[in-house]
């Protein structure tokens, strides 16, 4: 559905996107991941024909973005980072306007508008001015705007940024619900979002593609698939060493790391040897020794993958000149 | 065509749900009312005076009321028009809604023409208020409607021309006020160019005078549609819209 080859976008002083290639199959939900300023928005803007690439090709739904932008635009729905809303309009008039703009036939205008308002749960505010809407509603009106002409491809630039947790969950559910009919690319720097929603991940950093694979493959590739994080309540600092030693003695354990401390709670990360699943033994070891086992879980592994691929915490890279022009 | 109308309609919607349209209509109604009252009052007084002196000068309501009224209106237009065009693109850029427009299956020229057309219609709505004032002259007097019609056309053309330039200026900034101020300065400059005629009649002065936006009004108010003036206005409109389209295109390359 989407093929990108050697895509490059240069600005006067820096390269925002550097020789990126990937492809997305029909019906996929792809997470577009990267620190701020990595070139996510630039790539999306090229795919939506907002701006032309400096070099390389991008093909959306069978049409080249540079040669036949009109055909591409007809088949693409785009939600920019800031939803493109006119605050002085009410929701219904706004969506009708967008439907007209996207060449929805006049006879279907009313129907389509009603449908997307239902779909994105904004029907209850259809007569309200957009300027009076909360951020969550605005985001959903933005989504409604993107799907109003029933496009083959949906491009969503940070669809959940700035929403509260409940709204984030609702928006994610909505996006997942859309995945049947549309091919979706969504950019984000929130990792749980990718795990929750996407089947495939494209990670870029400093304008370069660093990985493109399924979520599971990425995890196993980084070799953090059989790590376990354990939280234990102990009597004090002396006990920590004891716990550490105890954990190390469990069969199949390769390495134990002290992670963090909060009061009496200690967190350890235990990496087992390949082929071993030491979780049951670990739990037994802790409980038998008389300590309280508070938590035993898989550490957030996609994050590890992400950090190892993008070379450090996201904040460090924020200083890179952004390819995003506001 | 359908796309132009889609854009134009939305712009008109925005004019009329925001205070801009109503503020402009009020200001214009006040000013054009005062001017009509003044001109008509002067005319009536001159009529009385010539009667009392027992002389009968030829009086012409077209030349003594309508023509000066229209030329006053065209000057008011210079001041109000930048207020109409300043938001067209500046506001889209500020709210980032421009991304919606340029990623929709619609040509840049359609966006530009649609927006400009809405501004012309907005200005037309102001002029309708003037028509209401002038209607009284037609009810109680007997002016010739043809020179008024050409004069009216001239005012509308002049407005369309400044609006085209204003639309272009609006693409250059995110700030409405900046767009308004530059538009106003440009309109003023195009107006005072006509003052250069007082410096003689060298070729430079003639060129400057031709460029002046106001010097093309007189023929219209006299009831003459001169191709020289029509071509001036149409070419200025074309220039403005052409520059706007180019500026919108360059926005993509630079963005």
Q: What is the side-by-side strand order in the sheet with A253-262? A: A253-262, A265-272, A227-233, A292-297
DSSP B91-117: HHHHHTTHHHHHTSS--HHHHHHHHHH
**Contact between chains at A49 and B106 (C-beta distance less than 8 A):** no
Scanning every residue of chain B, which has its alpha carbon at the shortest distance from the alpha carbon of A47?
B103
Question: Touching check for B101 and chain A: CB below 8 Å?
Answer: yes
Q: Which residues from B are below 8 Å from A79, CB to CB?
A: none
How do residues A185-240 score in pLDDT, each as one tens digit? 999 877 777 877 888 889 888 888 888 888 777 766 655 556 777 888 876 667 77
Q: Cα–Cα distance between A228 and A278 in angstroms, integer? A: 9
By residue range, what is the domain housing residue B238? 2-254
Question: Touching check for B127 and chain A: CB below 8 Å?
Answer: no
Question: Touching check for B10 and chain A: CB below 8 Å?
Answer: yes
DSSP conformation class of B141:
S
- Given this model, what pLDDT does residue A87 score? 94
Q: Which residues from B are below 8 Å from A74, CB to CB?
A: 105
Q: 3-state class of B208 per DSSP?
A: helix
- Given this model, what pLDDT does residue A326 score? 33
Number of domains in chain B: 1
Chain A closest CA to B184's CA: distance in Å? 25
How do residues B201-251 score in pLDDT, each as one tens digit? 788 888 887 888 777 888 888 888 888 889 999 999 999 999 999 999 988
Percent of chain A's residues with pLDDT above 90: 28
Q: Is pLDDT larger for residue A104 or for residue A279?
A: A104
Best residue in A88, A91, A92 for a mutation probing chain B (most B CBs within 10 Å): A88
Q: Which of A49, A87, A325 lies nearest to residue B103, judging by beta carbons?
A: A49
Chain A closest CA to B94's CA: distance in Å? 9
Chain B closest CA to A48's CA: distance in Å? 6
Q: Which residues from B are below 8 Å from A73, CB to CB?
A: 103-105
Ranking A283-292, B5-14, B240-249 by mean pLDDT, the lowest is: A283-292
Q: Cα–Cα distance between A143 and A128 in angstroms, integer? A: 17
**Contact between chains at B18 and A100 (C-beta distance less than 8 A):** no
Q: What is the 3-state secondary structure (H, E, C) of chain A?
A: CEEEEEEEEECCCCEEEEEEEEEECCCCEEEEECCCCCCHHHHHHHHCCCCCCCEEEEEECCEECCCCHHHHHHCEEEECCCCCCCCCCEHHHHHHHHHHHCCCCHHHHHHHHHHHHHHCCCHHHCCCEHHHCCHHHHHHHHHHHHHCCCCCEEEEECCCCCCCHHHHHHHHHHHHHHCCCCEEEEEECCHHHHHHHCCEEEEEECCEEEEEEEHHHHHHHCCCCCEEEEEEECCCHHHHHHHHHHHHHCCCEEEEEEEEEECCEEEEEEEECCCCCCHHHHHHHHHHCCCEEEEEECCCHHHHHHHHHHCCCHHHHCCCCCCCCC
What's chain B's length in residues? 255
Q: Which tokens in the block code for residue B80?
A: 């109000």
Chain B closest CA to A212's CA: distance in Å? 26
Q: Which residues from A are below 8 Å from B96, CB to CB?
A: 80, 82, 84, 326
- Residue A110 pLDDT > 50, yes or no? yes
Q: Mean pLDDT, to the nearest integer, of B74-100?
A: 91
- Given this model, what pLDDT does residue A318 score? 39
**Contact between chains at B253 and A52 (C-beta distance less than 8 A):** yes
Whether A148 contacts A99, CB under 8 Å: yes
Band of pLDDT at residue B28, cut at 50, 70 and 90: very high
Q: Cα–Cα distance between A82 and A80 in angstroms, integer? A: 5
Specify the residue for token string 């160019």. Answer: B193
Q: Which residues from B are below 8 Å from A48, CB to CB?
A: 103
Among A116, A37, A121, which Cα is nearest to A81's?
A37
Q: Which residues on neighbouring strands pair with residue A208, listed in sequence order?
A: A205
How do residues B174-205 score in pLDDT, each as one tens digit? 999 999 999 999 988 888 887 777 777 788 88
Q: What is the CATH number of domain A2-221?
A: 3.40.50.300
Q: 3-state class of B175 per DSSP?
A: coil
DSSP conformation class of B56:
-
Q: What is the CATH number of domain A227-297?
A: 3.30.70.1570
ipTM exceeds 0.90, yes or no: no
Q: Which of B2, B13, B100 lies nearest to residue A93, judging by beta carbons?
A: B13
CA–centroid distance for A320 within its chain: 20
Ranking A19-23, A142-146, A314-318 by mean pLDDT, the lowest is: A314-318
- Given this model, what pLDDT does residue B171 score? 94
Chain B closest CA to A297's CA: distance in Å? 43
């Amino acid at each position: 559905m989407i093929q990108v080859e050697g895509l490059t976008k240069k600005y006067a002083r820096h390269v925002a996107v550097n020789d990126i290639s990937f492809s997305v199959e029909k019906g996929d939900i792809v997470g577009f991941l990267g620190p701020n300023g990595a070139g996510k928005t630039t790539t999306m803007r090229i795919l939506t024909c907002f701006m032309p690439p400096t070099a390389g090709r991008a093909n959306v739904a069978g049409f080249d973005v540079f040669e036949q932008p009109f055909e591409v635009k007809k088949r693409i729905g785009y939600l920019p980072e800031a939803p493109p809303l006119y605050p002085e309009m009410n929701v219904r008039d706004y969506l009708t306007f967008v439907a007209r703009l996207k060449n929805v036939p006049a006879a279907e205008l009313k129907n389509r508008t009603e449908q997307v308002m239902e779909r994105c749960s904004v029907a209850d505010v259809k007569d309200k001015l957009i300027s009076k809407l909360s951020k969550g509603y605005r985001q959903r009106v933005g989504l409604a705007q993107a799907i109003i002409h029933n496009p083959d491809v949906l491009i969503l630039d940070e669809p959940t940024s700035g929403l509260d947790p409940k709204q984030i969950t609702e928006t994610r559910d909505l996006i997942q619900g859309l995945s049947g009919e549309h091919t979706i690319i969504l950019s984000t720097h929130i990792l749980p979002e990718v795990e929750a929603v996407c089947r495939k991940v494209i990670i870029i950093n400093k304008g370069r593609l660093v990985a493109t694979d399924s979520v599971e493959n990425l995890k196993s590739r980084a070799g953090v698939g059989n790590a376990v994080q354990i939280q234990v309540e102990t009597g004090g600092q002396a006990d920590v060493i004891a716990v550490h030693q105890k954990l190390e003695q469990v069969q199949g354990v390769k390495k134990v790391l002290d992670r963090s401390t909060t009061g009496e709670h200690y967190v350890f990360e235990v990496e087992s040897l390949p082929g071993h699943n030491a979780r049951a033994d670990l739990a037994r070891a802790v409980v038998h020794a008389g300590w309280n086992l508070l938590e035993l879980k898989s550490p957030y592994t996609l994050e590890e993958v992400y950090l190892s691929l993008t070379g450090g915490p996201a904040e460090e890279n924020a200083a890179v000149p952004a390819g995003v022009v506001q | 065509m359908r796309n132009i109308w889609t854009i134009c309609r939305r712009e008109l919607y925005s004019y009329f749900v925001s205070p801009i349209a109503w503020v402009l209509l009020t200001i214009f109604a006040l000013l054009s009312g005062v001017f009509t009252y003044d001109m008509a009052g002067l005319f009536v007084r001159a009529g009385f005076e010539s009667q009392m002196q027992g002389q009968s000068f030829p009086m012409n309501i077209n030349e003594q009321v309508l023509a000066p009224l229209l030329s006053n209106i065209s000057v008011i237009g210079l001041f109000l028009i930048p207020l109409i065009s300043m938001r067209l693109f500046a506001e889209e850029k500020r709210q980032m809604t421009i991304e919606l427009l340029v990623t929709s299956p619609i040509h840049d020229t359609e966006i530009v023409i649609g927006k400009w057309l809405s501004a012309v219609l907005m200005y037309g709505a102001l002029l309708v208020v003037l028509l209401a004032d002038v209607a009284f002259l037609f009810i109680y007097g007997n002016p010739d409607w043809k020179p008024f019609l050409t004069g009216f056309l001239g005012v509308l053309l002049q407005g369309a021309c400044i609006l085209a330039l204003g639309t272009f200026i609006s693409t250059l900034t995110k700030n409405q006020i900046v767009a308004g101020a530059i538009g106003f300065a440009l309109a003023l400059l195009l107006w005072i160019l006509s003052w250069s005629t007082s410096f003689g009649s060298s070729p430079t002065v003639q060129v400057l005078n031709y460029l002046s936006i106001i010097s093309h009004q007189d023929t219209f108010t006299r009831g003459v549609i001169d191709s020289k003036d029509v071509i001036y206005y149409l070419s200025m409109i074309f220039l403005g819209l052409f520059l706007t389209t180019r500026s919108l295109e360059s926005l993509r390359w630079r963005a």
